């Protein structure tokens, strides 16, 4: 029983700390629009951003979602 409770707490913490900003975001690369970096476009909120690495952005760059 303690193990189950521990897993639930761990899951909640992960959701709160790592998933808050990007919970809805779905980043897609578009190599055709690369300039100084890698172009990423968020299908969920429509935000676009250039990154230095090939990894998808960790945060949503949509101004409306950054209010919270
Ligand atoms: Zn987004």
Phi, psi of 10 (to 5 degrees): -60, -45
In a domain, 15, yes or no: no
Q: How far, in Å, are 1, 5, 11, 18, 27 from residue 8 at the CA level?
A: 11, 5, 5, 15, 28
In a domain, 8, yes or no: no
Domain that holds residue 47: 24-57
In a domain, 14, yes or no: no
**How confident is the prediction for the chain on average, in pLDDT?**
80
Residue 64 is predicted with a pLDDT of 62
Ligand 1 centre from 6 Cα, in Å?
A: 31
In a domain, 13, yes or no: no
Query: Whose CA is closest to 22, among 8, 5, 40?
Result: 40
Confidence of residue 30 (pLDDT cuts 50, 70, 90): very high
**Environment class of 42 (CB within 10 Å of its CB; exposed 0-12, middle 13-18, buried 19+):** buried
User: The pTM is what?
Assistant: 0.56
Ligand 1 centre from 59 Cα, in Å?
A: 8
Model confidence pLDDT, tens digit, residues 5-26: 999 998 887 776 665 555 678 8
Ligand 1 centre from 47 Cα, in Å?
A: 6
Ligand 1 centre from 46 Cα, in Å?
A: 6
Ligand 1 centre from 45 Cα, in Å?
A: 4
* Number of domains, the chain: 1
């Amino acid at each position: 029983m303690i193990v189950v409770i521990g897993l639930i707490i761990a899951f909640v913490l992960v959701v709160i700390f790592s998933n808050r900003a990007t919970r809805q975001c779905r980043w897609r690369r578009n190599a055709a629009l690369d300039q100084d970096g890698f172009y990423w476009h968020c299908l969920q909120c429509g935000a676009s951003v250039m990154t230095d690495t090939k990894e998808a952005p960790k945060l949503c760059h949509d101004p409306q979602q950054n209010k919270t």
